[in-house]
Amino acid sequence: MVQSVATQCPACAGRAQHQSRQLTHRLASTSNRCQGTQCVQNNHWGKSVCKSRPRTCIVLQAIAQPEAAVVRETLPVDPSAVHPSSRAPTDFEYDAVIIGSGIGGLTTATQMAAKGAKVVVLEKYVIPGGSAGHYHREGYTFDVGSSMMFGMGHEGTTNLITRALSAVGKSLDTVPDPTQIHYHLPHSEAHPEGLDVKVWRKYEDFVEELSERFPHEREGVKKFYGECWAVFNSLNSLELKSLEEPRYLLGEFAKHPIACLTLASYLPSNTGDVARKYIKDPELLSFIDIECYCWSTVLAEHTPMINAGMVFCDRHYGGINYPRGGVGRIAELLVEGLQERGSHIEYKANVKDIIVKGKGEQQQAVGVRLADGRVFRGKAVVSNATRWDTFEKLLAHEEMPKSESLFRKRYKKSPSFLSIHTGVCADVLPPGTQCHHIIVEDWQTMESPLGTLFVSIPTLLDPTLSPDGTHIVHIFSPDWIDNWKSLSAPQYERKKEEVADALVKRVEAFLPGLTEATVFREVGTPRTHRRFLNRDDGSYGPIPSRRPLGMLGMPFNRTSVQGLYCVGDSTFPGQGVNAVVFSGFGCAHRVLCDQGKQAVIPLLDQGYNSLLAAVRDRS
Ligand SMILES: NC(=O)c1ccc[n+]([C@@H]2O[C@H](COP(=O)([O-])OP(=O)(O)OC[C@H]3O[C@@H](n4cnc5c(N)ncnc54)[C@H](O)[C@@H]3O)[C@@H](O)[C@H]2O)c1
Ligand SMILES: CC(C)=CCC/C(C)=C/C=C/C(C)=C/C=C/C(C)=C/C=C/C=C(C)/C=C/C=C(C)/C=C/C=C(\C)CCC=C(C)C
């Protein structure tokens, strides 16, 4: 159980009762004097924070609100944090009722609204964006999930986030990140100090740095990443819409035959196989594994080559760009664009059931029912919930379609994340620190729970996200919900603190003094992700349960239930913000075609989709 330690601030005798062991420790080890309104700047954790921004002084916060210092679940539960939305009308049949305001759901909604459709987005929580939302605490703006954004460039066709925003007349100021990731990897005979690699924005600089670390694999490095460019350049020449719509596909084949054939040839292939064609050094192959694992949560042999092409090249082409104001600005702007076009979003709208008429092949989704009993009717229902939530909870009253049983054989839930959001004194960061880091101490435990550490410091790119004199350090690591079950409330709180303390210590390998420099901390577990993101087991998304055929097994947006579509990371091409934006483009396009609002060639459409359904239902 967390010890409630009656530590007294040296100058506030008796007034500060701090529950956080960490804070207590800091108070005990400081020569700080709290003067009631302002702290003296002579300790190793307060510094300019205390002097220049008394409001952010943790001592004062803790005195005023002892609970502010308690480590607790992340994300706001305060109803005043609810984003503005009025109750959406229910006496109306919408073109689409969209369950969830993740980026997949919002992209579908805005793409449809931009074409004149009337939609409603029903969000259970109080902010938009799901795992790509952000929340505010004590002067900090914390990104709920990762702060690393692809797809925000200005050229080509793969700048999907830029395009989604511009479809509803919005744009975002972004800050270019000079590196994608700074890797801190295990030591070996060849790299006794540890393998240290930075993925520079400029492709040639990255390839040169990696080749210097593996001079005997210079050719292999060039050829492997070169093949990724073949995939990316093909993607980046196509207009990206629904792969379930043959008229569009034929048009793209006619305009860009080589690009389409290239992509078709890569659909069944995995990154590990391509890497092994060119690279023999086991340490370099482990590097390719972590290059995949850190966004797909599986090793290279289970990561589709098309996705690797996208990630390994867009970081150099459009670059990694941080949205000024925080990742949640993307969702906030999409919501603005949606509302400006006369469509609706309602928060605290918990969808309990998808309403279905008919049986078997005649099943048709016609609306949804909220927990408060209200019914929203729609010509289409689009679920941005995971497939597990959609078919096992929202459709629990219906028989599971065969295609969904097959999906469950091919894919399983990935782990969730343990997430530590901290505010730290700015001077703990050595000059030249990069924004995103991956730490692996031992290749053998890279995939174990809490084995790989992810660190993001978004305030290096946008300092307005935290109070003056501080930075945000977000530490996260894959973990399973089972590790957090069957704990009493005090056990749960204590475990969160212990695990967070241990992870922060490990990050000290490259940020010495981090523990002492921490002035704010909140910890989220897989349970937090399950509760606030409404994702089964808090999962980050589907991962193949056996060696996949590239992306061929991943379902598109239509489902076996007529009028019901899925969008988000449970659909092609999987996890990632720009991936779910693609899924949203495809979903909106397919729904609009099905509703006669975009042109199709009826016979061809029918034939092609029967073929896709046959493939999807194939055991
Ligand atoms: N850097 C990055 O690339 C980055 C950063 C953050 C997130 N992501 C990605 O975003 C992906 C997830 O996006 P997504 O679009 O699939 O969705 P999501 O899981 O982020 O959002 C789904 C939303 O639906 C809501 N919801 C679920 N069930 C509901 C119900 N019954 N009633 C009402 N609302 C409900 C949830 O509250 C949530 O807001 C992840 O795969 C992750 O990779 C990536
Ligand atoms: C017939 C048919 C069907 C076909 C034919 C052929 C063709 C035309 C084809 C086409 C195809 C296509 C178009 C495809 C597309 C694809 C795509 C768009 C993809 C995308 C992808 C993306 C991705 C994957 C992304 C991802 C990302 C991520 C996940 C991220 C994450 C991050 C994180 C986690 C963070 C990290 C951190 C640190 C390091 C700190």
pLDDT in tens, 561-586: 999 999 999 999 999 999 999 999 99
Q: Is the beta carbon of 235 within 6 A of some atom in ligand 2?
A: yes
Q: 9 to each of 12, 16, 49, 390, 444, how far by Cα in Å? A: 5, 6, 17, 51, 45
- Tokens coding 413: 């839930």
DSSP E strands in 347-408: the ranges are 351-357, 364-370, 375-378, 381-383
The Cα–Cα gap between 478 and 499 comes to: 13
Tens-place pLDDT, residues 277-305: 999 999 999 999 999 999 999 999 999 99
**Mutation to probe ligand 1, out of 177, 394, 529, 569 (largest number of atoms < 8 A from CB):** 569
So what's the pLDDT on residue 552?
79
So what's the pLDDT on residue 613?
82
- Please state the atom number of ligand 2 nearest to the C-alpha of residue 240: 13
**449 contacts: CB under 8 Å, gap ≥ 6:** 415, 477, 478, 479, 480, 483
- Choose among 12, 330, 420: nearest CA to 149: 330
So what's the pLDDT on residue 546?
87
Query: Which of 65 and 244 is assigned the larger pLDDT?
Result: 244
Least confident range from 20-29, 319-328, 351-360, 538-547: namely: 20-29
Least confident range from 32-36, 146-150, 368-372, 607-611: namely: 32-36
**61 contacts: CB under 8 Å, gap ≥ 6:** 68, 69, 138
Least confident range from 27-36, 459-468, 510-519, 525-534: namely: 27-36
Kindly tell me if the per-residue pLDDT of 415 is higher than 70: yes
**Distance from residue 168's CA to the centre of ligand 2 (Å):** 23
Q: Which residue has the tokens 């006369």?
A: 342
Confidence of residue 85 (pLDDT cuts 50, 70, 90): low
Q: What does the domain layout of the chain look like in residue ranges?
A: 2-72+415-533, 96-149+324-413+540-618, 186-319
Q: Is the beta carbon of 335 within 6 A of some atom in ligand 1?
A: no
So what's the pLDDT on residue 612?
86
- The number of angstroms, rounded, from the C-alpha of 30 to the middle of its chain's C-alpha atoms is 38
Kindly tell me if the per-residue pLDDT of 50 is higher than 80: no
So what's the pLDDT on residue 305?
97
Q: Is the beta carbon of 574 within 6 A of some atom in ligand 1?
A: no
CB hemisphere CA count around 401 (13 angstroms): 24
**Distance from residue 103's CA to the centre of ligand 1 (Å):** 7
Tens-place pLDDT, residues 90-117: 999 999 999 999 999 999 999 999 999 9
- Please state the atom number of ligand 2 nearest to the C-alpha of residue 308: 24
Q: Which fold has domain 96-149+324-413+540-618?
A: FAD/NAD(P)-binding domain (3.50.50)
Least confident range from 348-362, 364-378, 422-436, 452-466: namely: 348-362
pTM beyond cutoff 0.95: no
**Distance from residue 123's CA to the centre of ligand 1 (Å):** 11
DSSP E strands in 374-483: the ranges are 375-378, 381-383, 411-413, 416-425, 436-440, 452-456, 470-479
Indicate which ligand has the atom closest to the C-alpha of 268: 2
Q: Is the beta carbon of 310 within 6 A of some atom in ligand 2?
A: yes
Q: Which residue has the tokens 């600089």?
A: 205
Tens-place pLDDT, residues 223-260: 999 999 999 999 999 999 999 999 999 999 999 999 99
